[in-house]
Chains A and B, each alone.
Chain A
Amino acid sequence: MTRQVAIFVGVVLAAAAVAVVLGAGGRGAELYLVSGYLGPFGKVDAALEELQKHAVWASWVGSVFIAIEDGKSAALRRLSMSCEGRQIRLPNGTVKNAPCLRLEQAGGPYVLVYRDGSKTLRFRGDTLEDALWLTLQHDEVDEMTKGWVETILLQYLFDVPLFSAAWALPFCNGTYYGPPPRPKVAVDAVIRAFIYPENKTVKPEELPRYVELPLRPLGPSWFGHYVVDACTLDNVRKEGVVAIVTKDKVETVLKTLQKYTDMIHIKPIK
């Protein structure tokens, strides 16, 4: 089958699915989007098989990540955030005000200001990288802030984009809902690195790999979620199920899903 014919068949199938959904809605049925997260080791296929008996439409779903902003600009934006209302919730349940690092001057030189209660420290560097390293080298900066700084330093140095999660659904017709025009998509958004503040060195072990996909943009979102056609990517993990159900079936579908997970989300759709 040629590519054009495959796309045509895909579009016809998608149109048929939409017609079924709209048909159900047209008869006065209220529709709900139900999703359940089972994780990569959950019994996704079994849950889907049961769900399909009650749903207008159902599918497995995975998670992928769309680049929405370049790394350098995202790092600068995150460092420029206000410190207002920052808190840390400790495992024992107590909440305390978080120390805060903020970029207060960008260029000529870069100045980062660290505030922790009455303590204020300033880190000046000719480059942002220099100022970030100075922060990491200072003994009086708390460990959680150092962790946050390392994350931003890696994003800045290796221009790791800011990612937004998208649902990977097996439409198999090039479907894409999200920011235009063509998405840069990663299956994993993990960064691993050795960091040596003492000699200002980073050895990245793994950075997110993303590919630009030639998908058909169909709109800004699909019922509030970015969506990428799972068939265009390798290694997408089945992590959950998504279904469109009529109001009278919501209770049944909920009970069915609760056998597999308690991470369930239900919302009415138009």
Chain B
Amino acid sequence: MPKPQLLKTAALAVLVFAVAVVYSLTVVRYTGEGCVTTAEGWGPLSVGSPYYVSLYVNSLIPYSRMFCASPAFATGGKLLYVVRIEAPGYAQTASACLGEGESLGFYPNPYYSGYLIVIADNKCIVRPSYYTRFTLSLYYD
């Protein structure tokens, strides 16, 4: 096969592989919600080896008192969301302060995967409490 033809075939093969990876992904979703006064945990979820994990904040409602007792007048704010996948002796964690409509995600190392936990800490823009709802998406190939 001439060299340009070979390169074209190789490029096509790479493209087909990439497309196959993108379009063969299966998504499993979990929704978490609850009041966060200091810290709140969700899990542990047995997740196997996802190709990609993301957390999206659907809603984050600030309260002016502890335990989500009295809605605050001002909207906005952020919570620290920690997404952690652990296996014995190995940990992979993505964390950031997120507000409504914001997200974080990562590609877990498939060789060291197992249980997932989400922790929300009230330590970004401190208010007495927040009610949160988030969507966890696990993509599998």
Contact = CB atoms under 8 A, between A and B. Distances in A.
- Give the interface size bracket for A toward B: 35 or more
Nearest to A37: B56
A87 to B, nearest CB: 6
A144 B56 contact: no
B92 A191 contact: yes
Interface in B88-141: 89-106, 109, 117, 119, 121-124, 129, 135, 137, 139
Given A87-B41, A193-B91, A265-B100, 15 more contacts: A63-B104, A78-B123, A81-B38, A84-B38, A86-B39, A87-B40, A91-B45, A143-B44, A154-B93, A165-B97, A192-B90, A194-B89, A195-B91, A263-B58, A265-B101
B135 A194 contact: no
Nearest to B83: A190
A50 B37 CA distance: 41
Interface residues of B, number: 57
Interface of B: 22, 25, 27, 32, 34-35, 37-45, 52, 54, 56, 58, 66-67, 75-76, 78, 80, 82, 84, 86, 89-106, 109, 117, 119, 121-124, 129, 135, 137, 139
A37 B101 contact: yes
B97 A98 contact: no
B116 to A, nearest CB: 10
A89 B95 contact: no
Nearest to B59: A265
Nearest to A63: B103
Contact of A151 (B90, B95, B103, B135): B95
A35 interface: yes
A196 interface: yes
